[in-house]
Amino acid sequence: MSVAEILFQVLGVTVVASPVVLLASLGAASLLGCRLSEAVIVRLTQASVVCGLLPAVAILVLMLVVGTRHVTVELGHWMEIPQEEFHFRLEFVFDRLSIPFVMLSYLLCGVVAAFTRRYLHREEGFRRFFLLYAIFFAGMVLSSLAGTIETLFLGWELVGLSSALLIAYFHEYQNPVRNGQRVWSVYRIADAAFLVAALTMHHLTGEGDFSVLMGAGPWPEGQAAISPQHALLVGSLLLVAAAGKSALVPFSGWLPRAMEGPTPSSAVFYGSLSVHLGAYLLLRVSPILDASLPLRAAVVVVGLVTAISATSMARVQSDVKGSLAYASLTQVGIIIVEIGLGLRYLALVHIIGHASLRTLQLLRAPSLLRDYHAMENAIGSRLPRRSSGWSRMLPESVRRWGFCFGYERGFMDLMLDNWIVVPFLQLFRGADRLERRWTDWLSREPSRESDRIPLHPESPGRNLV
Amino acid sequence: MSAPTTAVACDSPAGLRHAIEHAAEYLPTQGPITVFVHHNTLHALEDLPFEQAILEGYAMFGCEPYLSEPRYREEFKRGRIRAEDLREVLMADLGDEADRLIGSFGTRYGLRLCMLQYPLPAVPEAELPWVMAQTHALEQFRDDVEPAVREQMLGATRHWVMRDLQTRGQEERSGASAESTAQAVLAELIRESGSDLEAWKENAWRSFLLRFLWTVCRRGVYAAGLPKAEQRSLVRHRDWLLEVTGEDSDRWVNEVLIRFSASFLDQGFAASTIPNREQGFFRSFADLYSRPFAPRPRWMGGLRENLRALLSRPFDPLVSIEQSLDAFGVEPQEREAYLTQSLLALRGWAGMLRQMERHTPWAPQPAPEGTLLEYLAVRLILERYAVGEISRKHFGISELARVRELAAERIHPRPSRLSLEGLTLSVFHLAQVRGWSPEQLVHLSDRQWQQLVREIADFTELERRRILHFAYERQYHHAALDAVAIHCGTIRESQQAHQRQENSEGFARSAFQVVCCIDDREESFRRHLEEVDPKCETFGAAGFYAVAMYYQGAADAHFRPLCPNIITPRHYVREEPIFSAIGASARRSRRRRLLGYLTHHIHSESRTLIGGSITGVLGSLATFPMVARILAPRWAGRLRSSVGELVSPPLSELHLERNDQEPGPSGDALGYRVDEMAGIVVRVLQDIGLTQRLSPLVLFLGHGSSSMNNPHESAYCCGACSGGRGGPNARAFAQMANDPRVRAVVAEGGISIPPEVRFLGGYHDTCNDQVEYYDLDRLPRTHRALFRRIEASINETRARNAHERARRFESVPLQSTPLEALRRVEERAEDLSEARPEYNHATNALCFVGRREWSRGLYLDRRCFLTSYDPSLDDADSSILTRILQAAIPVCAGISLEYYFSTVDNEGYGCGSKLPHNIAALAGVMTGAASDLRPGLSAQMVEIHEPLRILFVVETTPEAMQRIIEENSGIARLVRGGWVRLAVLNPENSELHLFHRGRFEPYQRESYQLPKARSSLEWYRGWREHLDFASIDTPPVVHRGAATGAGVVS
């Protein structure tokens, strides 16, 4: 091994390990019941960000110096079944896609952690927040650098878990918990699609390594080594996964509901990093998209529909966080379109720029009144309402329906509820009724003791809505 | 307004309208958050006495009236509530009832005091068996039982067992079931500890005693039975269904109404306005919800057709409400309660609709008339569908009128708060701390037990909290009154001593005088200023300085009122560039406008499709401001303001003098006439008692606050300026008072302002502690040296004030220096991530109305409003005091009560944590993605507040004060109703009279000691919590008396 290679290995491992160590230490502390002080938590988080960001920059510099475009860091073979040609390993890739993305993750996580330090000062859930935040942070870094689909899935799950838990951060209220659960449910659909895609890939190629699947060339020049039909199958599954994670049509309904947590978590999740993870996944597997034209078309259509409906929703939101959520979604839709069209570098630049801008906007969302006041004063009158040019060309009734569409958030939640959730529940409730009837008949008396328990045994205090 | 319990039969439309009007009074009265005015949260119940009103609030809003019992216990434990406070308050509360004997258990007073001092465990019934089985409840005494009591109980029991129980024959025992219980317990213990009772160890005896006690108590309580518990009142169909099925129809209805109300009230945030907004709430709602090709949730089935039918003819909300009530089967006599609860189901939004309909003509999009009625009509229509759906699902019928009846059949009785087991536990603990031995209890009759149980049950948690709260208030109020009396005496003595010594030298004059707002935050500022420069004198007056105006700054788009919100100003004042800078100003204003358009464009376009893509791609640039503002807020703030200077207006002046007859918002109609100005000057100088001995320079400081990322910013500004910044008022006042023509008119009124006296306006930012001065160029050259001295003193004061404030901020180390503290508070004001830029009025508790000399040098811990008033200048009718109190009592009471309610129930009356706040419709904040609008104060604003009713100490006579109370209904309501406490001070002999039950009673001093400190710093350093009163040893105060023309002090 040359000096450069050793350096790459050491630096690479540091980049990956630093958030994991943070998670482990915060997690162990709370498992052992050791109540870390705010200052200690903050210092650990800062150290972790710095220890990860600097090596990432060093790797970038070193790669430019050495002239390589693709570095992999392997953390061992964890399983190998030669007969089945199956193996599983933890592998991390540093290339033109992952380096900017991981640096973005580090930067935004660092900035938002610095913000949170003061914003959540004296807050009862300070430790819980930073623990969940560490889960998210580790998840982002793992999924940005993932070199195999399993590793990506690991990071992806961590992000999803922390996301749902942070939405429900104020767990004494009803709405955050309900919305957190809703987001969690949508994520399950996305995760299921992802998992099936991963299994299919294993089935097709015997391993989950992106390099094998996409050819050996460094991103974005890889060539998918699978047939168009297989690409379509795996690609569609991954598209569903990306749609769930990035709130694309038809899953857009959850995004504004996610604005329940403290402002900084809303900013870093739904303004910037988490919401782009779906797009990142599609970028990562972009060689598959090349392999199948229908798949690319599907990606473009999903992105376009998302962008257009999100912009119509953003126009009618009257609360600042909801409006920013849909504004984010509009851009994510466009990024998906760019990926579908094969404009990968543009998409990457767009992700980075958009994430930074939106984080700033969301972090200062509580300043909205002040900003409006300042703008009104500068202009010297009430702020002009912007009306988009093309909407004026539409007939009145269509425009009104368009308002209704945006106002009802594209009816997406409703349709998911009516067409998926309700039939699903009905199926199981029906089964439950059947079973009850059957057991009642067998025991010749009401067989469910739980039916006799009163609904509110004791009231835990006021319900917070 | 009549008491809320009176039901009005509303079978006529007029009656219905009246009932709704009445119900709407209970809605929050906070307007759009940009103009935040502190007010009594329970303003609608102000006609009731405070104690009743908060219980009414508890019944109506479900909000807590006091802090929780454990909170008061903590305060008791750490000495904030003293045992003597409890005793006094309880004695006064019980009056003649105090000595009533409760069986053989002692007096009612004794029992209640015991229940207050020793917390009886409140264990839920389900948990009780566990407590008895798994804890040492039956093995060990409570920790706080006095050792003597223990010994006595143990001894008595042992004796009794050895004497009676063991030696008595079988035949005797069979009759006394109590003793058979004791035998059973004894037998059990004998199995465990051996039959030789003499060899029993102490813990065996203890165990026997406690188990036996428990058994006896249990038997007694069971024999007595439960006292009647109060019944739940379920009013709305939704309440019944929620109770019975667990499904909340309000969840559906509110979700629709939150989103629609937000869009309807939107003040210009969303790019598209809701269609048909101008046709009113109902029509735009019906239009939106009757659109074709729009899927609707199941529960709304049939709504579309219904709305279409309603749209086709004129809509009368009252008729619709009537129909809904009929459909629900609500009887006329319960309609008012029903409608009230329906309105309160989403009270934030409903309240805002009402405010925007009535009280905000200045808003960009006020709501049309009748909005609230239409809202209620829509709400009831929606409820019909939601309730119908749940009822169909659970009861199989959709006949709304029968829902409550069906639910009543299915309702499970909710376990009462009182349970026999729980009561047993209470008696068991009470017996331990009171030292009732089992022997005593065993022979009680059922009637005696009943008496005891009723006594315990009657002293409910709410009652206990009430007493604890009054004790909590009493401690502080008495400490304050003692401190005032002692301090006042000390000052008087030192004055007399000085007068004797220096009688021949005549009267000294203060070097300069500073007038601040009465705001509690200026208390420390004034105190430090007086410490920095003992030759100065400070005054307090309501911070709008009688200049009630609509004001437009040179860089402002609109006029905004700068005066208390009870006054509607008639005058308009505009800040304009000075004549020679008009050209420069126009250029800068063009630049400003360009920048404004650009910002607005970026702001709004970044949320669109195309514009968003462009800004998105270039968005990486946003990293720089983001990182800078978060990691180095102070530095970024400086950079911003220095760039801002390029576009900010140049030198300016106030357009203050009017030529037209009538005031108006433009041209010559702007401003005041000379005689009006003179009226203002006379009024303020009289109010603060500064009609003589004016120093060469009198500085008037307005105040305000500026912070980042804070939707409640306006609440931090000057309350006397309707949540605006009071700098312009001070500036205007100074300009008026400097005008020779004004002075001539003022002199006619008997106040002569010597020509060398100059007034100067300034502005104090209470968040970053900066002070700026207006119109310095107009200051005569002769006054410059004096100004420099004032400036230096004020700069030192800023740092010291920042330092005292910083002791409250946990993130600032206690050992930092004043300059470091100043830097930290400057940083906080610029910091995006700072949830507590300052603590605002938190901790306010007092208001002193009188001459500063009596409070000067008294350490009041930033908890006191300071209003200057000189009784010696007042006439026989106390007309000056009347006009001061007419403003001061309602304003200070409003602040104090808003803080009180937001603290005792932050979720109910306040707006909860500000961390998830989401600005909606540019009018208020929601919690998270969608919630009711949250009026009130946030948890971060009130976290260090002690909820106390404010205590006014007024320097006047009881008779004068009594007359003012009688003649002013506004003051009478607050004072008589106990919403504020009131005392009057006679400085001649330091005697105080406290207003109690309608009259002034002499106050009995409790303490004659007041700690002394050499400086404020010495008293407060190293401590974050609230501080006691102390006398700060400043050099002797400036002498009072008539001054005859003296030269400028240089």
Q: For residue B835, what is the nearest residue in chain A, using CA coordinates?
A: A119
The verdict on A355 and A421 lying in the same domain is no
pLDDT for residue A457 is more than 60: no
Taking only residues 375 to 414 of chain B, the set having a beta carbon closer than 8 angstroms to any beta carbon of chain A reads: 412, 414
B596–chain A Cβ distance below 8 A for any pair: yes
Q: What does the alpha-carbon distance between residue A211 and residue A222 come to, in Å, rounded to a whole number?
A: 8
> What per-residue confidence (pLDDT) applies to A239?
95
pLDDT tens-digit map of B811-847: 899 999 999 999 999 999 999 999 999 999 999 999 9
Q: What is the ipTM of this complex?
A: 0.93
Burial B779-791 (b: 16+ CB within 10 A, else e): beeebeebbebbe
Best A268, A272, A334, A357 member to test B by mutation, with max B CBs in 10 Å, is A357
Q: Which of A116, A170, A319, A451 to mutate against chain B (most B CBs within 10 Å)?
A: A319
Work out whether strand B697-704 and strand B512-517 pair parallel, antiparallel, or are unpaired. Answer: parallel
> B676 — phi, psi (to 5°)?
-65, -40
Sign of the four-CA dihedral B918, B920, B925, B931: negative
Distance between CA atoms of B249 and A121, rounded to whole angstroms?
A: 37
Mean pLDDT of all residues in A141-169: 92
pLDDT digits (tens, 9 = 90+) for B767-824: 999 999 999 999 999 999 999 999 999 999 999 999 999 999 998 999 999 999 999 9
Q: Which two tokens stand for residue B227?
A: 């006292």
Identify the helix (H) or strand (E) that includes residue B677. helix B674-688
In the predicted model, what is the mean pLDDT of chain A? 88
Residue A125 one-letter amino acid: G
Interface probe, candidates B58, B272, B585, B713, chain A, greatest A C-beta count within 10 A: B272
* Residue B1034 pLDDT > 60: yes
CB–CB of B609 and A179 under 8 A?
Answer: no
pLDDT at B364 over 70: yes
Does some domain include residue A314? yes
Which among B261, B248, B233, B252 is positioned nearest to B27, based on CA atoms? B261
Query: β-strands B770-773, B758-765: how paired?
Result: antiparallel
Q: What's the mean pLDDT in B356-371?
A: 89
Residue A209 C-alpha, separation from nearest chain B C-alpha, in angstroms: 31
- Give pLDDT, residue B621: 85
CB contacts of B36 in chain A (<8 Å) are none
Residue A297 and residue A240 share a domain? yes
What is d(CA B482, CA B476) in angstroms, rounded to the nearest whole number?
10
- Chain A residues inside the 8 Å CB shell of B624: none
A370 CB-near residues (< 8 Å, 6+ apart): B708, B710, B713
Asked if the structure places residue A464 within a domain, the reply is: no
Domain contains A200: yes
Shared domain check, A242 and A155: yes
Coil vs helix vs strand at B135: coil
Rounded mean pLDDT, B358-381: 92
Whole-number percent of chain A with pLDDT over 90:
60
* Token pair in block for residue B1047: 């030269």
Same domain, residue pair A359 and A424: no
pTM of the complete model beyond 0.90: yes
How much is the pLDDT for B857? 92
Q: Which of A305, A336, A365 is the last residue of a domain?
A: A365
Q: Which of residues 883-912 of B touch A (CB under 8 A)?
A: 907-908
Chain B nearest CA to A67, separation (Å) = 26
Are A350 and B599 a contacting pair at CB < 8 A?
no
B630 contacts A363? CB cut-off 8 A: yes
Give A300→chain B minimum CA distance, Å: 15
Residue A289 and residue A434 in one domain: no
Rounded CA separation A246/A240 (Å):
10
Q: Which residue has the tokens 């004494």?
A: A172
**Domain count along chain A:** 2
Out of A4-18, A66-80, B622-636, B858-872, which region has the weakest mean confidence (pLDDT)? A66-80
B639 in Cβ contact with B579 (< 8 Å): no
Please count the residue pairs, one from chain A and one from chain B, whose beta carbons lie less than 8 angstroms apart.
317
With beta carbons under 8 A apart, name residues in chain B contacting A125. none
| Partner-chain contact A458 B126, CB within 8 Å | yes
Confidence of residue B165 (pLDDT cuts 50, 70, 90): low
Residues of A in contact with B724 (CB under 8 A): none
Q: Which residues of A touch B622 (CB under 8 A)?
A: 353, 356-357, 359-360
pLDDT in tens, B181-225: 767 777 777 777 777 777 788 888 888 888 888 888 888 888 888
Q: Would residue A82 count as lying in a domain?
A: yes
Contact status of B461 with chain A (Cβ, < 8 Å):
no
Query: What residues contact residue B114 under an 8 Å CB cut-off, 6+ apart?
Result: B430, B433, B434
- Number of H helices and number of E strands within chain A? 19, 2
Contacts (Cβ under 8 Å, ≥6 apart) of B997 = none
Decide if B232 touches A, using CB distance below 8 A: no
Q: What residues in B contact A375, CB-CB < 8 Å?
A: 596, 599-600, 603
Instruction: Give A26-60 as a 3 state SS string.
Output: HHHHHHCCCCCCHHHHHHHHHHHHHHHHHHHHHHH
Residue B1030 clears pLDDT 70, i.e. is over it: yes
Pair (A221, A317) in one structural domain: yes
* Pick from B274, B833, B916: CB nearest A261: B916
Q: What is the DSSP string of A411-434?
A: GHHHHHIIIIIHHHHHHHHHHHHH
Show the tokens assigned to A334. Answer: 């466009």
Best of B234, B252, B418, B613 to disrupt the A interface (most A CBs within 10 Å) is: B613
* Residues across chain A: 465
Tens of pLDDT, residues A291-348: 899 999 999 999 999 999 999 999 899 999 999 999 999 999 999 999 999 999 999 9
Mean pLDDT of A405-421: 89
pLDDT band at B177 (very low <50, low <70, confident <90, very high): low
> Is residue B9 over pLDDT 80?
no
Inter-chain residue contact B833 with A258, CB threshold 8 Å = no
Residue A432: domain span: 414-441
Is pLDDT above 60 for A462? no
Let me know whether A127 and A194 are in one domain: yes
Q: Write down the pLDDT at residue A389.
A: 63
Percent of chain A as helix, strand, coil, to the nearest 5: 75, 5, 20
Residue A128: pLDDT above 50? Answer: yes
Instruction: Indicate if A151 and A215 belong to the same structural domain.
Output: yes
Between CA A176 and CA A238 the distance in angstroms is 28
A107: which chain B residues are within 8 Å (Cβ-Cβ)? 623, 627
- Residues B160 and B439 sit within 8 Å (Cβ to Cβ): yes
> What does the pLDDT read at residue B603?
84
Closest approach of chain A CAs to the CA of B270, in angstroms?
A: 5
Cβ-Cβ contacts under 8 Å, B627 against chain A: 107, 111
Angle formed by the axes of helices A344-363 and A320-340, nearest 10°: 170
Strand (E) or helix (H) holding A4: helix A3-31
Give the whole-angstrom CA distance, residue B705 versus residue B715: 9
pLDDT at B229: 63
The b/e string for B518-549 (b: 16+ C-beta within 10 A; e otherwise) is bbbbbbbbbbbbbbbbbbbbbbbbbbbbbbbb
Prior bond of B121 cis (ω within 30°): no
Residue A236 resides in a domain? yes
Q: pLDDT of B908-943, one tens digit each?
A: 999 999 999 999 999 999 999 999 999 999 999 999
Mean pLDDT confidence for B75-89: 94
Q: What is the pLDDT of residue B607?
A: 83
Claim to verify: residue A240 and residue A320 sit in the same structural domain: yes
B616: chain A residues, CB-CB within 8 Å = 331, 334, 350, 353-354, 357
b (16+ CB within 10 A) / e for B490-499? bbbeeeeeee
Q: Does B254 touch chain A (CB under 8 A)?
A: yes
Residues of B in contact with A255 (CB under 8 A): none
B863-B866-B868 Cα angle (round to 5): 170
Binned at pLDDT 50, 70 and 90, residue B414 comes out as: low
Q: How confident is the model at residue A39 (pLDDT cuts 50, 70, 90)?
A: very high
Residue A78: its pLDDT value, please? 73
Is A462 contained in some domain?
A: no
Average pLDDT over residues A49-59: 95
CB contact under 8 A, B246 and A355: no
* Average pLDDT of every residue of chain B: 89
Segment B878-889, tens digit of pLDDT: 999 999 999 999
Residues in contact with A124: Cβ distance below 8 Å, sequence separation at least 6, in sequence order: none
Q: What is the pLDDT of residues A223-270, one digit of tens each?
A: 777 788 888 999 999 999 999 999 998 899 999 999 999 999 998 888
Task: Give the span between the Cα atoms of B794 and B801, in whole angstroms.
Answer: 10
Within a 10 A sphere around the Cβ of B500, how many other Cβ atoms? Answer: 8
**pLDDT of res. B2:** 39
Strand-pairing partners, residue B652, are B577
Confidence of residue B47 (pLDDT cuts 50, 70, 90): very high
- Among B259, B295, B929, whose Cβ lies nearest the Cβ of A321? B929
A16 lies in some domain = yes
Q: Which residues of A touch B904 (CB under 8 A)?
A: none
Across A104-113, B3-12, B681-690, least confident range: B3-12
- Please report, for residues A226, A337, B215, B604, the alpha-carbon distance to residue A306 in angstroms, rounded to integers and kept in the order given: 29, 10, 71, 19
Mean pLDDT of B75-96: 94
User: What pLDDT, on a 0 to 100 scale, did the predictor assign at position B171?
Assistant: 43
